[in-house]
């Protein structure tokens, strides 16, 4: 619900119901092997519970890296689709009660030709570096997932995938460390379970891994992805392999609270009436409560968006409005639930309209589907800021369905006129959707 001062701000209640594709039965690797291939050629990878602590340094010198077999056998997407990778990649996945760990050893024929040029978080140029990226399909639905990528210097890039549409607006809590060895480099990822949404108590996730060797212009995957998907290939969740042997937590305490307080004092003897050490202050709070890992509720009161990065300046010579991406945390999580047909102008869907601001690593082609719900309008009226008094949102995801509820309140102080608008949406994904290549 959005309540504004003079004009009507929409109240949005949007619901999405999705029937999801059940995962096909997979033949798990035996104890002596880390990865097998199913009939479609997709990797089936075994993960292992850690029995001793990991030293998070990227060096891969713990004993379990020697005793647990590594996954390998990456397949080219470019330049020779379907051919084996030129350089060997060894890959491991471990877990404990709190985190999921990824380790990789990337062998190089010519380490001196490695390309590493960017350390900025979520920089679009990261794709053009030598890098390793992993995507987890945490609901094992072959539609949605969370991706993490790093170059050899530890530069970080993460994104969320909804219905195979990537969005780098999502920023999770995770870490990465890298190191060099004589014939290449190594990397370790540590991601807390609480940073992602997943099916509680699950034993299988979807997984795929991408490696870029830039000097060769060679892009390889653990499970093959068609060349037609280009740089969005890792977001083709219907092509992921299967991670077996996992024991995801059944219950996690997940409550994040971010309060803020602002204070000021003003002296202005020329004001009417004159001010002398006039004090003023404000406070507010944002909270995120994970009722379960698939049901998340967000609250905000007297929201302060001052910490949000500025929009990039744009020169618009067209007759169309520029659609700036949503960057406010409250509106980001679960945002793709409210997008239609993959649209979203980079506000989460990964599609780009004719004047959308490109966001780099998400990729995505031209998509001119009308944007029915554009959250950047909330808190603005005729170019003027309307302070947001409060808001609440709940998102839900399970094997059977997805739902989203978004209610916000924006009020111009001192004005009481309100109006309400009700919006409802229902989407059904066909359970027999083709998930192969």
Residue 163 binned pLDDT confidence (cut-offs 50, 70, 90): confident
Supply the pLDDT for residue 412. 41
- Distance, in Å, from the CA atom of 157 to the CA atom of 170, rounded to the nearest integer, reads 10
Task: Share the mean pLDDT of the chain.
Answer: 76
From the list 45, 327, 404, the residue with the least C-alpha distance to 169 is 327
Kindly state the percentage of the chain with pLDDT values over 90.
36
For residue 428, CA distances in Å to 55, 95, 107, 403 come to 45, 34, 44, 11
pTM of the prediction? Answer: 0.73
Q: Which residue has the higher pLDDT, 251 or 216?
A: 216
Pure H helices in 37-165: 64-67
- Mean pLDDT, to the nearest integer, of 405-430? 50
Residues of the chain with CATH 2.60.40.1190: 35-244
CB contact at 8 A, 213 and 189: no
Q: How many CB atoms lie within 10 A of CB 49?
A: 11
Least confidently predicted of 256-265, 334-343, 369-378: 334-343
From the list 98, 136, 130, the residue with the least C-alpha distance to 116 is 130
Q: Which residue has the higher pLDDT, 286 or 418?
A: 286
Supply the pLDDT for residue 437. 43
**Length of the chain counted residue by residue:** 437
Residue 3 has pLDDT above 70, yes or no: no
Tens digits of per-residue pLDDT, 237-272? 999 999 999 998 887 777 888 888 888 899 988 888
Its CATH class, for the domain covering 35-244, is mainly beta
Residue 327 has pLDDT above 80, yes or no: no
- Mean pLDDT, to the nearest integer, of 59-70? 92
- Mean pLDDT, to the nearest integer, of 177-197? 93
Residue 4 binned pLDDT confidence (cut-offs 50, 70, 90): very low
From the list 111, 36, 28, 29, the residue with the least C-alpha distance to 72 is 36
**Biggest alpha carbon–alpha carbon distance for the chain:** 82
Residue 424 binned pLDDT confidence (cut-offs 50, 70, 90): low
Residue 100 has pLDDT above 90, yes or no: yes
Residue 428 has pLDDT above 70, yes or no: no
Residue 413 has pLDDT above 60, yes or no: no
Residue 16 has pLDDT above 60, yes or no: no
Question: Highest mean pLDDT: which of 15-24, 131-140, 193-202, 418-427?
Answer: 131-140
Region label for 382, one of left (φ > 0), alpha (ψ between -120 and 50) or beta (otherwise):
left
- Mean pLDDT, to the nearest integer, of 278-296? 81
The contacts of residue 436 (CB under 8 Å, 6+ apart) are 40, 238, 239
Tens digits of per-residue pLDDT, 115-161? 998 888 888 889 999 999 999 999 898 988 999 999 999 999 999 88
Q: Which residue has the higher pLDDT, 63 or 12?
A: 63
For residue 230, CA distances in Å to 224, 364, 365 come to 12, 10, 11
3-state helix, strand, coil in the chain (%, to 5): 10, 35, 55
Question: Highest mean pLDDT: which of 187-201, 279-293, 323-337, 373-387?
Answer: 187-201
Supply the pLDDT for residue 399. 53
Residue 287 has pLDDT above 50, yes or no: yes
- Mean pLDDT, to the nearest integer, of 210-231? 93
């Amino acid at each position: 619900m959005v309540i504004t001062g003079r004009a009507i701000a929409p109240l949005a209640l949007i619901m999405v119901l999705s029937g999801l594709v059940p995962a096909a039965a997979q033949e798990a690797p035996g104890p002596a092997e880390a990865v097998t291939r199913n009939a479609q050629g997709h990797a089936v990878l075994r993960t292992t519970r850690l029995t001793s602590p990991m030293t998070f340094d990227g060096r891969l010198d713990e004993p379990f890296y020697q005793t647990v077999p590594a996954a390998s056998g990456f397949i080219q997407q470019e330049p020779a689709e379907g051919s084996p990778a030129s350089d060997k990649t060894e890959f491991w996945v471990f877990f404990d009660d709190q985190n999921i760990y990824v380790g990789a050893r990337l062998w190089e024929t010519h380490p001196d030709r490695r390309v590493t040029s960017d350390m900025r978080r979520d920089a679009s140029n990261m794709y053009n570096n030598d890098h390793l990226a992993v995507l987890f399909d945490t609901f094992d639905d072959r539609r949605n997932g969370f991706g993490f990528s790093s170059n050899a210097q530890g530069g970080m890039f993460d994104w969320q995938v909804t219905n195979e549409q990537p969005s780098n607006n999502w920023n999770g809590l995770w870490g990465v460390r890298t190191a060099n060895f004589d014939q290449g480099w190594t990397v370790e990822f540590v991601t807390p379970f609480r940073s992602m949404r997943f099916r509680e108590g699950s034993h299988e996730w979807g997984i795929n891994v991408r490696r870029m060797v830039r000097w060769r212009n060679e892009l390889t995957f653990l499970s093959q992805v068609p060349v037609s998907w280009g740089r969005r290939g890792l977001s083709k969740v219907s092509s992921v392999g299967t991670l077996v042997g996992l024991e995801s937590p059944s219950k996690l305490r997940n409550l994040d609270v971010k309060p803020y307080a602002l204070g000021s004092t003003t002296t202005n003897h020329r004001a009417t009436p004159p001010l002398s050490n006039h004090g003023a202050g404000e406070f507010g709070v944002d909270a995120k409560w994970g009722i379960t890992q698939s049901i998340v509720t967000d609250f905000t009161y007297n929201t302060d968006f001052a910490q949000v990065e500025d929009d990039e300046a744009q020169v618009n010579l067209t007759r169309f409005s520029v659609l700036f991406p949503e960057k406010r945390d409250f509106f980001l999580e679960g945002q793709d639930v409210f997008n239609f047909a993959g649209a979203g102008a980079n506000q989460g869907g990964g599609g780009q309209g004719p004047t959308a601001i490109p966001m780099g690593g998400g990729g995505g082609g031209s998509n001119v589907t009308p944007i029915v719900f554009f959250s950047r309008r909330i808190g603005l009226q005729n170019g003027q800021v309307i302070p947001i008094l409060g808001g609440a949102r709940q998102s839900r995801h399970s094997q059977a369905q997805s739902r989203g509820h978004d209610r916000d309140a924006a009020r111009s102080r001192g004005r009481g006129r309100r109006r309400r608008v009700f919006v409802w949406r229902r989407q059904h994904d066909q359970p027999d959707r083709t998930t192969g290549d």
